[in-house]
Amino acid sequence: MATETIKKGRKFDQVLAGAREIFLRDGFEGASVDDIARAAGVSKATLYSYFSDKRLLFLEVVKAECRRQADEAVQVIDQTAPPETVLPAAAERIIAFLTSDFGQRIYRICVAESDRFPALGREFYISGPLLVRERLAGYLAGAVARGELAIDDMSLAADQFAELCRVDIQARLLFGIGPCDAADRARIIKGAVEMFLARYGTGR
Protein backbone atom coordinates (compact mmCIF):
# COMPACT_ATOMS: atom_id res chain seq x y z
CA MET A 1 0.00 0.00 0.00
CA ALA A 2 1.15 3.56 -0.78
CA THR A 3 0.64 4.73 2.80
CA GLU A 4 3.16 2.14 4.04
CA THR A 5 6.00 4.02 2.36
CA ILE A 6 5.02 7.45 3.71
CA LYS A 7 6.67 8.57 6.95
CA LYS A 8 5.58 11.59 8.93
CA GLY A 9 7.87 13.92 10.82
CA ARG A 10 8.45 17.50 11.89
CA LYS A 11 8.72 18.86 8.34
CA PHE A 12 5.98 16.71 6.78
CA ASP A 13 3.48 19.57 6.39
CA GLN A 14 6.28 21.81 5.10
CA VAL A 15 7.07 19.28 2.37
CA LEU A 16 3.37 19.03 1.42
CA ALA A 17 3.07 22.81 1.15
CA GLY A 18 6.09 23.03 -1.14
CA ALA A 19 4.87 20.12 -3.25
CA ARG A 20 1.42 21.67 -3.61
CA GLU A 21 2.96 24.89 -4.93
CA ILE A 22 5.14 23.15 -7.51
CA PHE A 23 2.59 20.58 -8.68
CA LEU A 24 0.04 23.31 -9.33
CA ARG A 25 2.61 25.39 -11.15
CA ASP A 26 4.26 22.69 -13.26
CA GLY A 27 1.88 19.72 -13.30
CA PHE A 28 2.84 16.23 -12.21
CA GLU A 29 5.32 15.39 -14.95
CA GLY A 30 6.84 18.87 -15.05
CA ALA A 31 7.42 19.07 -11.31
CA SER A 32 10.97 18.23 -10.28
CA VAL A 33 12.00 16.92 -6.89
CA ASP A 34 14.68 19.62 -6.75
CA ASP A 35 12.07 22.37 -7.17
CA ILE A 36 9.77 20.77 -4.61
CA ALA A 37 12.56 20.52 -2.06
CA ARG A 38 13.55 24.13 -2.73
CA ALA A 39 9.97 25.39 -2.35
CA ALA A 40 9.57 23.38 0.85
CA GLY A 41 12.84 24.64 2.26
CA VAL A 42 14.19 21.13 2.86
CA SER A 43 16.91 18.94 1.41
CA LYS A 44 16.16 16.22 -1.12
CA ALA A 45 17.27 13.71 1.50
CA THR A 46 14.62 15.04 3.91
CA LEU A 47 11.97 14.92 1.19
CA TYR A 48 12.83 11.32 0.31
CA SER A 49 12.80 10.38 3.99
CA TYR A 50 9.08 11.18 3.98
CA PHE A 51 8.16 10.13 0.45
CA SER A 52 10.07 7.49 -1.48
CA ASP A 53 8.33 8.39 -4.75
CA LYS A 54 7.05 11.58 -6.40
CA ARG A 55 3.74 9.91 -7.14
CA LEU A 56 3.15 9.17 -3.48
CA LEU A 57 3.85 12.81 -2.70
CA PHE A 58 1.38 13.98 -5.32
CA LEU A 59 -1.29 11.59 -4.01
CA GLU A 60 -0.80 12.91 -0.50
CA VAL A 61 -1.10 16.51 -1.69
CA VAL A 62 -4.41 15.70 -3.39
CA LYS A 63 -5.78 13.78 -0.41
CA ALA A 64 -4.72 16.42 2.11
CA GLU A 65 -6.32 19.27 0.16
CA CYS A 66 -9.58 17.38 -0.38
CA ARG A 67 -9.75 16.46 3.30
CA ARG A 68 -9.07 20.05 4.30
CA GLN A 69 -11.86 21.34 2.09
CA ALA A 70 -14.31 18.72 3.38
CA ASP A 71 -13.39 19.36 7.01
CA GLU A 72 -13.85 23.11 6.58
CA ALA A 73 -17.27 22.54 5.05
CA VAL A 74 -18.35 20.38 7.99
CA GLN A 75 -17.11 22.98 10.48
CA VAL A 76 -18.97 25.92 8.94
CA ILE A 77 -22.24 24.11 8.19
CA ASP A 78 -24.64 23.45 11.06
CA GLN A 79 -25.49 19.77 10.70
CA THR A 80 -28.77 20.25 12.58
CA ALA A 81 -30.02 23.14 10.43
CA PRO A 82 -32.88 22.55 7.97
CA PRO A 83 -32.17 21.55 4.33
CA GLU A 84 -33.25 24.96 3.08
CA THR A 85 -30.28 26.38 4.98
CA VAL A 86 -27.69 23.62 4.62
CA LEU A 87 -28.14 22.70 0.95
CA PRO A 88 -27.38 26.17 -0.46
CA ALA A 89 -24.28 26.36 1.77
CA ALA A 90 -23.18 22.89 0.64
CA ALA A 91 -23.73 23.87 -2.98
CA GLU A 92 -21.57 26.98 -2.47
CA ARG A 93 -18.77 24.78 -1.12
CA ILE A 94 -19.02 22.26 -3.97
CA ILE A 95 -18.93 25.00 -6.59
CA ALA A 96 -16.13 26.88 -4.82
CA PHE A 97 -13.91 23.79 -4.92
CA LEU A 98 -14.87 22.97 -8.49
CA THR A 99 -13.96 26.45 -9.70
CA SER A 100 -10.90 26.94 -7.49
CA ASP A 101 -7.44 27.03 -9.02
CA PHE A 102 -6.56 23.88 -7.10
CA GLY A 103 -9.72 22.03 -8.09
CA GLN A 104 -9.35 22.81 -11.79
CA ARG A 105 -5.65 22.01 -12.02
CA ILE A 106 -5.81 18.81 -10.00
CA TYR A 107 -8.77 17.59 -12.05
CA ARG A 108 -6.85 18.18 -15.29
CA ILE A 109 -3.73 16.49 -13.93
CA CYS A 110 -5.74 13.48 -12.75
CA VAL A 111 -7.36 13.07 -16.16
CA ALA A 112 -4.07 13.57 -18.04
CA GLU A 113 -2.19 11.07 -15.89
CA SER A 114 -4.94 8.47 -15.42
CA ASP A 115 -3.57 5.98 -17.98
CA ARG A 116 0.00 6.01 -16.66
CA PHE A 117 -1.02 6.56 -13.05
CA PRO A 118 -4.35 4.76 -12.42
CA ALA A 119 -3.99 4.97 -8.64
CA LEU A 120 -4.19 8.75 -8.94
CA GLY A 121 -7.73 8.67 -10.30
CA ARG A 122 -8.84 6.24 -7.60
CA GLU A 123 -7.33 8.30 -4.82
CA PHE A 124 -8.81 11.52 -6.17
CA TYR A 125 -12.23 9.88 -6.32
CA ILE A 126 -11.91 8.53 -2.76
CA SER A 127 -10.63 11.81 -1.35
CA GLY A 128 -12.91 14.04 -3.44
CA PRO A 129 -16.28 12.90 -4.81
CA LEU A 130 -16.63 9.93 -2.44
CA LEU A 131 -15.79 12.05 0.60
CA VAL A 132 -18.34 14.67 -0.49
CA ARG A 133 -20.92 11.89 -0.86
CA GLU A 134 -20.21 10.50 2.60
CA ARG A 135 -20.33 13.88 4.34
CA LEU A 136 -23.49 14.93 2.51
CA ALA A 137 -25.17 11.55 3.02
CA GLY A 138 -24.49 11.87 6.75
CA TYR A 139 -26.33 15.18 6.85
CA LEU A 140 -29.20 13.84 4.75
CA ALA A 141 -29.64 10.89 7.10
CA GLY A 142 -30.03 13.32 10.00
CA ALA A 143 -32.56 15.38 8.06
CA VAL A 144 -34.54 12.22 7.28
CA ALA A 145 -34.52 11.28 10.97
CA ARG A 146 -35.92 14.73 11.78
CA GLY A 147 -38.67 14.29 9.20
CA GLU A 148 -37.37 17.10 6.98
CA LEU A 149 -36.55 14.85 4.01
CA ALA A 150 -37.83 11.51 2.68
CA ILE A 151 -34.92 9.55 1.17
CA ASP A 152 -34.39 5.81 0.81
CA ASP A 153 -30.92 5.86 -0.80
CA MET A 154 -28.69 8.45 0.89
CA SER A 155 -25.67 7.86 -1.34
CA LEU A 156 -27.69 8.24 -4.53
CA ALA A 157 -29.37 11.40 -3.25
CA ALA A 158 -26.01 12.89 -2.24
CA ASP A 159 -24.54 12.15 -5.67
CA GLN A 160 -27.59 13.64 -7.37
CA PHE A 161 -27.27 16.87 -5.42
CA ALA A 162 -23.55 17.16 -6.18
CA GLU A 163 -24.24 16.65 -9.90
CA LEU A 164 -26.99 19.28 -9.86
CA CYS A 165 -24.41 21.73 -8.50
CA ARG A 166 -22.06 21.03 -11.42
CA VAL A 167 -24.60 21.81 -14.12
CA ASP A 168 -22.90 23.82 -16.91
CA ILE A 169 -20.02 24.89 -14.64
CA GLN A 170 -17.71 21.91 -15.13
CA ALA A 171 -18.25 21.77 -18.89
CA ARG A 172 -17.49 25.49 -19.25
CA LEU A 173 -14.27 25.07 -17.29
CA LEU A 174 -13.11 21.94 -19.10
CA PHE A 175 -13.70 23.35 -22.57
CA GLY A 176 -12.33 26.79 -21.81
CA ILE A 177 -15.62 28.60 -22.31
CA GLY A 178 -14.98 30.69 -19.24
CA PRO A 179 -16.14 30.70 -15.62
CA CYS A 180 -19.72 31.29 -14.58
CA ASP A 181 -20.32 34.66 -12.97
CA ALA A 182 -22.00 35.25 -9.60
CA ALA A 183 -25.45 35.44 -11.16
CA ASP A 184 -24.96 32.11 -12.95
CA ARG A 185 -23.79 30.44 -9.75
CA ALA A 186 -26.73 31.79 -7.80
CA ARG A 187 -29.12 30.52 -10.47
CA ILE A 188 -27.50 27.07 -10.48
CA ILE A 189 -27.56 26.82 -6.67
CA LYS A 190 -31.19 27.93 -6.49
CA GLY A 191 -32.17 25.42 -9.17
CA ALA A 192 -30.22 22.58 -7.54
CA VAL A 193 -31.81 23.15 -4.13
CA GLU A 194 -35.32 23.58 -5.52
CA MET A 195 -35.11 20.45 -7.66
CA PHE A 196 -33.64 18.39 -4.83
CA LEU A 197 -36.30 19.50 -2.37
CA ALA A 198 -39.05 18.94 -4.94
CA ARG A 199 -37.92 15.30 -5.10
CA TYR A 200 -37.04 14.62 -1.46
CA GLY A 201 -38.65 17.35 0.62
CA THR A 202 -41.52 16.59 3.00
CA GLY A 203 -42.91 20.12 3.15
CA ARG A 204 -42.13 20.50 6.84
- Identify the band that residue 3 occupies on the pLDDT scale cut at 50, 70 and 90: very low
pLDDT in tens, 49-78: 898 888 889 888 888 877 777 777 667 678
20-57 tens-digit pLDDT:
899 888 888 888 999 999 999 999 999 988 988 888 89
Tell me the domains of the chain and their CATH numbers.
8-52 (1.10.10.60), 58-200 (1.10.357.10)
Q: Which of 15-24, 140-149, 186-195 has the lowest mean pLDDT?
A: 15-24
In DSSP terms, which residues pair with 158 in a beta bridge?
none
Q: Are 60 and 98 in contact (CB under 8 A)?
A: no
Cα of first residue to Cα of last residue in the chain, in angstroms, is 47
Residue 1 is predicted with a pLDDT of: 39
Average pLDDT for 120-145: 86
Residue 88 pLDDT greater than 70, yes or no: yes
Distance CA 162, CA 182 (A): 18
More confident site: 70 or 183:
183
Asked whether residue 147 carries a pLDDT value surpassing 90, the answer given is yes
DSSP 167: T
User: According to the model, what pLDDT value does residue 193 have?
Assistant: 97
Contact 120, 114 (CB under 8 A): yes
What is the structure's pLDDT at 65? 78
- Residue 129, pLDDT above cutoff 90: no
Contact (CB, 8 A) for 86 and 74: no
Residues 93-109, mean pLDDT to the nearest whole number:
81
pTM of the shown model? 0.78
